[in-house]
Amino acid sequence: MTFDGLDYAPMQLADVDEVFAVEREVYPHPWTRGNFVDSLASGYSAWTLRDEGRLAGYFLLMAAVDEAHLLNVSVAAQRQGQGIGRYLLDKVVACARGLGAESVLLEVRPSNERALKVYLRYGFVEIGRRKAYYPAHNGQREDAIVMRFTL
């Protein structure tokens, strides 16, 4: 698939409602609208990807010393399986390099097999686990796999 017609732009406050709608569509335990508003207010690198005005995906990246922490990366449900996730990871890496980072860190649920495969194919490696990191069904908690991509 070609990505020439996609519009990649900084996330604005006006994008948050649409971003939040996609977030709720693709995750069983989504970020809150406030998480996105707070991330923008904190000055995190936040970007959207649109196709003919429709939101195809987004990511939020936090710089910390020599690392960039990928806080959230999501692809709209109807655009999954089309290479958008890898395209967004290319943008994440470019953004992290621009921030002077030497690596990108992220957490992913072990149950999110699709994302885990994308990260592994991209070159991220598991460096640890965070016990009971994510909320899960019925008040349970799910571990997080911590991954790093060295730039």
Nearest-10 Cα torsion for 111, 84, 36, 142: 10
Instruction: Give the closest residue to 133 by CA, choosing from 104, 96, 106, 93.
Output: 106
At 67, which amino acid appears?
E
User: What homologous superfamily is domain 6-150 in, according to CATH?
Assistant: Gcn5-related N-acetyltransferase (GNAT) (3.40.630.30)
Token couple for 78: 């109807």
Which positions ≥6 away from 102 have C-beta within 8 Å? 66, 67, 150, 151
What pLDDT is attached to residue 1?
52
Is the C-alpha dihedral spanning 121, 18, 32, 96 positive or negative? positive
Q: Are strands 67-75 and 141-150 parallel, antiparallel or unpaired?
A: unpaired
Tell me the whole-structure pTM to 2 decimals. 0.93
- Note the pLDDT tens digit of each residue in 90-136: 999 999 999 999 999 999 999 999 999 999 999 999 999 999 888 88
- Note the pLDDT tens digit of each residue in 51-93: 999 999 999 999 998 999 999 999 999 999 999 999 999 999 9
- 43 burial (CB, 10 Å; 0-12 / 13-18 / 19+) is exposed
